[in-house]
């Protein structure tokens, strides 16, 4: 089911992945600024007050506080992100933590600072802000190496999104192979497949996985020079270099990276000279055994107007696709995104069934699904209400309409009659025999849950039956679903078949 072709080429075994430089970002001290100034007692005494303040928040207190964080964010997150933090001092309402790397500081600042600040404030109300600093004498401090890429006024690397890490990537059947391949590449180690080619439809997580690889490579080996950019940016840089007569610079920048990642490569199809340059860059890097990671919206062979030699080059490594999400994966993603929302909106309550509803109804694009959730939480928080089914329908009316399921009642009737091996006319017709009535009720149930048709509308499509008959059918199946494993299994199978 998982389509992957693994062919390996031109990589002498045992060759090591080059070490990576931190060329993607400058080292800047990170600070999370808060403007609320609750408490403020300990600052009153000036310098003495400061000492006093430190007495409020001590190493020991930090130790206890960390235990609370562990409970909130779970063992994995804790080990990766909180344990490496070292509490240094509190000065003028600013709590400073030492971090081993810039990457870690950035990540914690983006993802956990609210939570940490919340806990800190419970100990010492005067703390307004947290900063994370890489100590000047730290061994692990990433070298502030100007990547060759940055010899231009602004380097070609595109920024990486802090949210796109492996930790936040939910793995399910449709993406497990792509995830595994990405993980393998992110480990560094010998280059075993080159390039790694990830493809799939819009919003299925290609960019997320690429950023995750870049983050992890960078965290593992801060000196590795990883260059991530979109194919569009590649072309833009190329055209610019041609125009400014700086082709030599361009070539040397791209040929001196350790890992090259090009997102949405389908973009260069039909753009002949860009393709040509891409091809040469690609070859030069492969010859040096540098890892290349490419994404596209379709398989290499299916990209129109892409030169044959480029196609065959792209197919040379491991080609893996991200399949459209299924219901389980969407539900998993929603559950994990809810966790993130809870940090921002701890007061918002969520009714049962809402996530299931969203996972069922918004089935195309994870980006849309995510946007829907963000909107729900923001809205519920604003109006101070629980996220109920009703609020969801109100707040997301447009999104739900736009992603209206294309499944029709007729399609459901067809699938169900095939499944139970009865004639379509018998399902719709008047016969009351159990062997027809039960499939008919199953179809009604699915029609109610998988389409936006009302009960009377469904009734009409079942040979003009009354809406109360439909309602009775739906209820009957709901009951049976809980008692009869066979019915539950049938429903699940049918739902999958219809969704596929």
List residues binding ligand ADP (CB under 6 A): 164, 168-170, 175, 200, 202-208, 333, 366-367, 370
226: partner contacted, choices Mg ion, ligand ADP, none (Cβ within 5-8 A by kind): none
Query: Least Å distance between CB 150 and Mg ion?
Result: 24
CB of 329 to ligand ADP, least distance (A): 7
What residue 208 binds from Mg ion, ligand ADP, none (CB within 5 to 8 A, per partner kind)?
ligand ADP
Alpha carbon of residue 390 to chain centroid:
27
Q: Does 417 bind Mg ion (CB under 5 A)?
A: no
- Binder of residue 202, out of Mg ion, ligand ADP, none (CB less than 5 to 8 A by kind): ligand ADP
Q: Are 346 and 117 in contact (CB under 8 A)?
A: no
Look up residue 318 and give its two tokens.
Answer: 């491991």
Binders in 424-443 for Mg ion, by CB under 5 A: none
Beta partners for residue 318, in sequence order: 6, 196
Question: How far, in Å, CA of 128 to CA of 33, rounded?
Answer: 7
Q: Choose one: 206-214, 355-363, 402-410, 463-471; the region binding Mg ion (CB under 5 A).
A: 206-214
Decide: is 207 part of the binding site for Mg ion (CB under 5 A): yes
Instruction: Report in angstroms how near the CB of residue 124 gets to ligand ADP at its nearest.
Output: 35
Does residue number 266 form part of the binding site for Mg ion (CB under 5 A)?
Answer: no
The least CB distance from residue 73 to ligand ADP, in Å, is 17
Which residue number has the CB closest to Mg ion? 207
Q: Of the two residues 333 and 480, which places its CB atom closer to ligand ADP in the complex? A: 333
Q: Please tell me the distance from the alpha carbon of residue 148 to that of residue 69, in angstroms, as a whole number.
A: 40
Contacts of 347 (CB under 8 A, 6+ apart): 381
Closest-CA residue to 329 (of 499, 153, 114): 499
Under a CB-based contact definition with an 8 Å cutoff, are residues 102 and 142 in contact? yes
In the complex with Mg ion, which residue's Cβ is closer, 296 or 399?
A: 296
CB of 210 to Mg ion, least distance (A): 8
Gap between the Cα atoms of 295 and 232, Å rounded: 12
Q: Which pair of tokens denotes residue 454?
A: 């009302």
* 34-42 own/partner pairs: CB under 8 Å, 24+ apart: 34/117, 34/128, 34/129, 35/128, 36/128, 37/93, 37/126, 37/128, 38/121, 38/125, 38/126, 39/121, 39/124, 39/125, 39/126, 40/93, 40/125, 40/126, 41/125, 41/126, 42/124, 42/126
* Residue placing its CB nearer to Mg ion in the complex, 233 or 408: 233
Radius of gyration of the chain (CA): 28
Residue 151 has which token pair? 């010899």
Nearer to ligand ADP, 98 or 370 (CB): 370
Nearest CB to ligand ADP, comparing residues 232 and 249: 232
**Do residues 387 and 374 make contact, with C-beta atoms less than 8 angstroms apart?**
no
Residue closer to ligand ADP by CB (options 175, 403) is 175
Minimal distance, residue 182 CB to ligand ADP, in Å: 11
Of the pair 298, 349, the CB lying nearest ligand ADP is at: 298
With CB under 5 to 8 Å by kind, the binding choice for 183 among Mg ion, ligand ADP, none is none
* Residue 175 site contact among ligand ADP, Mg ion, none (CB < 5 to 8 Å, cut-off depends on kind): ligand ADP
We find the least distance from the C-beta atom of residue 207 to Mg ion, in angstroms, to be 3
In the list Mg ion, ligand ADP, none, the entry touching 438 (Cβ below 5 to 8 angstroms by class) is none
CB of 231 to ligand ADP, least distance (A): 12
Closest distance of CB 120 from ligand ADP, Å: 29
- Choice between 208 and 290, CB closer to ligand ADP: 208
Q: Name the minimum Å distance from CB 151 to ligand ADP.
A: 29
| DSSP single-letter state for residue 201 | S
Residue 151's CB is within 10 A of a number of other CB atoms, namely 11
Do 210 and 296 meet the contact criterion of CB atoms below 8 Å apart? no
**Between helices 327-344 and 354-361, what is the axis angle to 10°?**
130
Taking contact as CB under 5 A, which single stretch among the options 104-112, 207-215, 313-321, 416-424 is the one that binds Mg ion?
A: 207-215
Minimum CB distance to Mg ion smaller for 207 or for 266? 207
Nearest distance in Å: CB 430, Mg ion = 53
Of 158, 198, 193, nearest to 177 by C-alpha is 198
- Of 206 and 323, nearer to Mg ion (C-beta) is 206
Please choose which of ligand ADP, Mg ion, none residue 370 contacts, taking the beta carbon within 5 to 8 angstroms, the exact cut-off set by kind. ligand ADP
Eight-class DSSP state of 42:
G
Q: Which does 112 bind (CB under 5 to 8 A by kind): Mg ion, ligand ADP, none?
A: none
Residues 6+ apart with CB under 8 A from 63: none
Q: Which residues bind Mg ion (CB under 5 A)?
A: 206-207
């Amino acid at each position: 089911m998982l389509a992957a072709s693994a062919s390996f080429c031109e990589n002498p075994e045992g060759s090591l992945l080059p070490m990576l430089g931190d060329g993607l970002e400058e080292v800047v001290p990170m600070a999370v600024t808060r403007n609320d100034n609750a408490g403020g007692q300990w600052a009153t005494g000036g310098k003495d007050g400061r000492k006093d303040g430190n007495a409020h928040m001590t190493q020991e207190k930090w130790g206890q506080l960390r235990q609370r964080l562990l409970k909130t964010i779970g063992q994995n997150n804790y080990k990766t992100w909180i344990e490496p933090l070292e509490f240094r001092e509190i000065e003028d309402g600013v709590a400073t933590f030492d971090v081993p790397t810039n990457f870690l500081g950035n990540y914690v600042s983006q993802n956990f600072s609210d939570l940490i600040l919340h806990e800190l404030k419970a100990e010492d109300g005067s703390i307004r802000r947290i900063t994370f600093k890489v100590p000047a004498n730290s061994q692990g401090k990433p070298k502030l190496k100007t990547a060759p890429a940055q010899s231009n006024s602004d380097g070609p690397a595109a920024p990486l999104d802090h949210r796109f890490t492996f930790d936040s990537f939910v793995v399910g059947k449709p993406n497990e192979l792509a995830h595994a391949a990405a993980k393998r590449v992110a480990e560094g180690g010998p280059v075993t497949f080159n390039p790694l080619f990830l493809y799939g439809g819009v919003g299925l997580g290609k960019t997320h996985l690429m950023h995750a690889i870049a983050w992890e490579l960078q965290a593992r080996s801060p000196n590795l020079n990883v260059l991530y950019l979109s194919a569009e940016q590649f072309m833009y840089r190329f055209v610019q270099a041609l125009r400014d007569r700086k082709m030599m610079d361009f070539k040397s920048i791209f040929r001196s990276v350790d890992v090259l990642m090009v997102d949405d490569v389908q973009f260069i199809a039909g753009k002949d000279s860009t393709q040509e340059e891409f091809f040469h860059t690609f070859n030069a890097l492969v010859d040096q055994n540098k890892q290349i990671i490419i994404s596209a919206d379709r398989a290499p062979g299916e990209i129109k107007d892409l030169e044959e030699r480029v196609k065959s080059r792209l197919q040379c490594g491991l080609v893996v696709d991200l399949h459209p999400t299924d219901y389980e994966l969407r539900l998993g993603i929603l559950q994990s995104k809810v966790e993130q929302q809870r940090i921002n909106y701890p007061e918002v309550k969520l009714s049962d069934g809402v996530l299931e509803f969203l996972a069922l109804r918004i089935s195309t694009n994870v980006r849309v699904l995510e946007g829907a959730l963000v909107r729900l939480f923001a809205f519920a928080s604003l109006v101070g209400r629980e996220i109920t089914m009703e609020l969801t329908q109100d707040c997301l009316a447009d999104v739900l309409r736009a992603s209206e399921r294309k499944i029709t009642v007729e399609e459901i009737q067809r699938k169900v009659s095939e499944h139970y091996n009865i004639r379509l006319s018998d399902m719709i017709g008047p016969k009351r025999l159990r062997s027809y009535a039960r499939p008919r009720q199953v179809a009604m149930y699915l029609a109610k849950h998988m389409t936006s048709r009302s009960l009377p509308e469904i009734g009409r499509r079942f040979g003009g039956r009354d809406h109360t008959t439909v309602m009775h059918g739906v209820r009957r199946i709901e009951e049976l679903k809980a008692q009869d494993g066979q019915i539950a299994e049938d429903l699940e199978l049918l739902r999958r078949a219809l969704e596929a």
